Amino acid sequence: AIQQKPQSPLAKVKARIAPLLANETSLRAIDSIQFRLARAAMKKAFAAREMLERLHPQIIMAADYLSPSSNIIFLVAQDMGIKTTGLPINWNNVYKCARIFGEPDLQMVWSEEMRQFLLDRNPRLLPGKVIATGCPQFDFHTDKSLIMPREEFAEVIGFDPNRPVICYSAASLKTVRREARILRCFLEEAIKNKSLFGEPQVVVRLNPIGSDPEFLDLAREYPDCFLCEPGWDVRRSISWICSSMADIKMWMNLIYHSAVNISIPSTVILDFAGMNRPIVNVGYDPPDLESNPYISLSDVWKQDLYRPIIELGAAKIALNKAELSEFVDGYLRNPSDGTAERQDLTRSSFAGCFGNSSERIVAEVVNLTRQNEPSISMV
């Protein structure tokens, strides 16, 4: 069984200090201290300066703008007169760590809501330098040329094309321990007993950075459980994790041909909402544990990032295994339920640039290279 991780002495100190610092004055003081420390570190970043002098770039764009190395390179580049711009690499980047060192020439974000969130927490950022552009990660969702005929895709995965498919999107192993136990109960009590409308099958989309190994056992034990393994290029030594084009096609087809998605609250919500596929999020921990894991699924969905989505009705949160089967069955019977809410979520999450954000981003970057100030147009 997984024991709850005890709170460290440092965590206890942080918990006591945090409420005292949660005000505008403290935020500005911390911002000033961080910026001075970063400037001091920048002066000793000789390798970064040498690299930029050799490459002589006109502009630097960082997707991983939260990493210390990106921030140091940003500051060195600015000191050398090179323009800088950033874009979140993931949905929760801004919400997990909203602090940005320094002042990039252009900070792109996914939505107007994300833009305002970032401005509220970064007093050094100028409103005209933070622009909502959508996210290129989702541009493939509107590319119909990637979609295979259902029979062809079914043959690749192994499922019956004449029956509905439920996609279970696995979380990373470090996020949810023993996650496969959630699916095991669902397979045993709902799929195996054929209690769901249409007698669906389950395709498990394994996580690119590692999933619970028990998912492999489920695919061997249950004839209606199949695996979809991600084809990602993962090189941890250089922090490189990138999907292949073949895997993008596989992922788009899995979303398109699925009737319902099951997952813990994550970016996957946006993937399925963008293709108007119903989403049921798991809001309870894997069964048969003596205590909650370090990250309890009963708390994840309550975070500021996810709670509004549940309140909007763009996804449903199952707080127990009975609700999981009930919500999935309801969506199988009425897949159009929640369509308007999913469309509202997609529009608000991508600043009206779902499917064409790449063009918007390129236009803003080109504009930055040509003018002293970036465009401040909003969508």
C-beta of residue 317 within 8 angstroms of C-beta of residue 281 = yes
What integer pLDDT is reported at residue 293 of this predicted model?
Answer: 53
Which pLDDT belongs to residue 238? 66
Of the candidates 41, 31, 43, 45, the one whose C-alpha atom is nearest the C-alpha of residue 100 is 31
Residue where the block lists tokens 């809001």: 283
Is the Cβ–Cβ distance between 145 and 253 less than 8 Å?
A: no
Q: Which helix (H) or strand (E) holds 365?
A: helix 357-370
Specify the pLDDT at position 62. Answer: 80
> What is the C-alpha separation between 147 and 232, in angstroms, rounded?
19
**What are the residue ranges of helices labelled H in 284-356?**
297-300, 307-312, 321-333, 339-349
Question: pLDDT at position 377, please?
Answer: 38
pLDDT score of 7: 57
**pLDDT, position 17:** 77
Q: Can you give the pLDDT at residue 4? A: 45
Q: What is the pLDDT of residue 273?
A: 97
Give burial (CB, 10 Å; 0-12/13-18/19+) of 101: buried
Extract the tokens encoding 132. Answer: 């909502």
Give me the tens of pLDDT residue by residue for the chain, a chain 379 residues long.
Answer: 334 455 567 767 767 777 766 677 777 777 777 777 777 777 788 888 999 999 999 898 887 666 777 778 888 998 899 999 988 877 877 776 666 766 789 999 999 988 998 888 887 788 999 999 999 989 999 999 999 999 999 999 999 999 999 999 999 888 888 999 999 999 999 999 999 999 999 999 999 888 999 999 999 999 999 999 998 887 777 667 788 899 999 999 999 999 999 999 999 999 999 999 999 999 999 987 655 455 788 888 888 889 899 999 999 999 999 999 999 999 999 999 999 999 999 999 998 889 889 999 999 999 988 875 444 333 3
Q: What is the pLDDT of residue 375?
A: 42
SS3 label, residue 133? coil
CA dihedral sign, ordered 106, 110, 111, 116: negative
pTM: 0.85
> In 3D, which of 246, 263, 282, 308 has the Cα closest to residue 111?
308
